Amino acid sequence: MAKYVSNKNETIRLFKNPVLEYFSHIHPVTPIIVFVPVLTILYYLGFKEVGILNSIVCFITGILLWSLTEYVIHRWAFHYHPKSETGKRVHFLVHGIHHDYPRDATRLVMPLLVSIPLAVVFYFLFQALFGVYYMNIFSGFIFGYVSYDSIHYATHHFEMKSSIGKFIKTYHLRHHYGDDHTAYGVSNPLWDYVFGTVPQQVREKKNSKPVVVGK
């Protein structure tokens, strides 16, 4: 049985500049407050353009696109190992700190200074790619992102009691405390199965329940 021990409040200062340091922290509810109204409005506007069936299909497509984006970014960007000192510093700021301090409660979801500009880029990209369907696809994409942030926080700080919740929690914590070359899917393991990065214990169905200390 694996034992995962970590202090909930452990963290370090990232920036000497107090403004940058302040904005490197974020409450986990913030993405919900900011993005849920946006995706709701976009879905409604898109629904008026394409109808109920098309809007539902596009919304689900957006969720799937997010799940693939989540996997790709986590595997090939967040776990890229740069050789230069500058690259190592950037990598630590982006993702390395999360692996060194996985229970830092204020750095588990993406800061707005990063998520909002990225959302704008994806908005115009989807507009260019998907024509009249872009608003519903983008709303699903944003829903997937908000779900990802919420699930990620929950895996580190909530006691997951349902069978699905326990599986997702154990699955993600294996990435942190077992093998960080597997289990790149945080909100779900779909693309790990597609690309063959499911942890061996899961493949063999020999899951062990983690003991999380310091909640």
Amino acid making up residue 33: I
- What is the pLDDT at residue 13? 85
pTM: 0.87
Say yes or no to pLDDT of 121 above 90: yes
* pLDDT digit string, tens, across residues 83-110: 999 988 888 888 888 888 888 888 888 9
Rounded to an integer, what is the distance from CA 2 to the centroid of its chain?
24
Q: Are 147 and 187 in contact (CB under 8 A)?
A: yes
Where do the structural domains in the chain lie, given as residue ranges? 3-158
CB atoms within 10 A of CB 51: 10
What DSSP line would sit under 132-201, residue for residue?
GGHHHHHHHHHHHHHHHHHHHHHHHHS---SHHHHHHHHHHHHHHHT-TTS---SS-SHHHHHHT---HH
Average pLDDT over residues 11-27: 87
Contacts of 167 by beta carbon, 8 Å cutoff, 6+ apart: 207
Whether 55 contacts 47, CB under 8 Å: yes
Q: pLDDT tens digit string along 30-39?
A: 999 999 999 9
Q: How far is CA 46 from CA 40, 41, 62, in A?
A: 10, 9, 13
